Amino acid sequence: MTDLSTTYLGLQLKNPLVPSSSPLSKSIDTLKRMEDRGAAAVVMHSLFEEQITHESRELDFYLSQGAESFAEALSYFPDLGHYNIGPDEYLDHIRKVKAALSIPVIGSLNGISTGGWIRYAGLIEQAGADALELNVYYIPTDPLMSSAEVEQMYIDLARNVKASVKIPVAIKLSHFISSIPHVAARLDQAGVDGLVLFNRFYQPDIDLENLEIVPNLNLSSSYELRLRLRWAAILYGKIKADMALTGGVHTAHDVLKGMMVGAKAAMIGSALLEHGSARLDEILRDLATWLEQHEYRSIRQMQGSMSQRNVANPAAFERANYMKVLHSFEPKVI
């Protein structure tokens, strides 16, 4: 029988499929269904820096501030009424999830500053999480802030979180970084255990009738995986940290490609939101079938086989591929 097992963040996983951070993890019943369908681990929905900061300021108001200042203070933060649970409830939810599941549970913190909210990394560990994913969602808008300063924020945050916990820590990166290999190497030196490639930046739209900026969520497609495949292939063998791919994992072929470029886990979100937990069954079945048909004994056997360091033409991941694609395109004459 083909061995689908892998390791990620030092955790033994029965297969590479890990439901990514999403609203699905808010329901224990849903999590149990995903476990029954074959999920090897699960990443919890994020606890946001703003949620923690908001609760702290709300407490400070009741202790020392006048009532007339509270409404104005609230305007500085997102509308947190749409979040179902606060920091304390989040920790309690992790405890309940750990009690209900037998697979590893990965907590998720979403933020960028190095403030006191980081102590929740330790509280998530105490609640029973097997690992922590630090989701760095940051869009620099200040023209005076250099790329080096932005990168340093990632490094400082990683070091502070690593210093506060003993469980493995993965950093979920953005691809909007001037030198991804440089940042990956620095994070590796800072001791992070894993890199998750990449954060999906949700783009706002414009309502032309009401002249408003409106949020917009589009589920991913397999096409988005290509960006992740490219950078995982380039980073493989250059860093010690495990890599997970997230954004564009929809089929068994997507998982296979991820493993071949060197990833240890394939995180799936949009496909579950669209098709439900049964999608896990289908992918695992197709995965096992493909491996048997192509005479692979295990997932480990293929990991890194199509990385930049192992393919016959390493330049295919660089400018050579760019030129080849452009020269191969023949426009239709109109």
299/263 Cα distance (integer angstroms) = 11
Report helix, strand and coil shares of the chain as percent, to nearest 5.
45, 15, 40
CB 299, CB 270: distance < 8 Å = no
What are the phi and psi torsion angles at 91 (to 5°)? -65, -40
pLDDT grade, residue 139 (50/70/90)?
Answer: confident
**Residue range 71-125, pLDDT digits in tens:** 333 333 344 444 445 899 999 999 999 999 999 999 999 988 888 888 999 999 9
Lowest mean pLDDT among 46-60, 147-161, 206-220: 46-60
Give just the sign of the alpha carbon dihedral 66, 112, 123, 36: positive
pTM of the full predicted structure? Answer: 0.86
Q: What is the rounded distance in angstroms from the CA atom of residue 34 to the CA atom of residue 19?
A: 8
Residue 72, H or E segment:
helix 67-74
Give the C-alpha separation, 18 to 259, whole Å: 13
**pLDDT (0 to 100) of residue 1:** 76
pLDDT given for residue 231 in this prediction: 97
Q: How far is CA 239 from the centre of its chain?
A: 18
Res 73: pLDDT: 36
**Residue type, position 219, single letter:** L
Query: Alpha-carbon distance 131 to 169, whole Å?
Result: 6
CATH number of 6-328: 3.20.20.70
User: Residue 84's pLDDT is what?
Assistant: 47
pLDDT of residue 168: 98
Q: What is the mean pLDDT of residues 49-66?
A: 54
More confident residue, 87 or 325: 87
pLDDT at residue 318 above 90?
A: no
**Is 228:246 a contact under the CB 8 Å cutoff?**
yes
pLDDT band at 333, cuts 50/70/90?
low
How far is residue 327's CA from residue 307's CA, in Å, rounded to a whole number? 24
Provide the percentage of residues in the chain whose pLDDT is more than 70. Answer: 86
- pLDDT given for residue 304 in this prediction: 97
- Cα end-to-end span (Å), the chain: 55
Please state the domain extents for the chain. 6-328
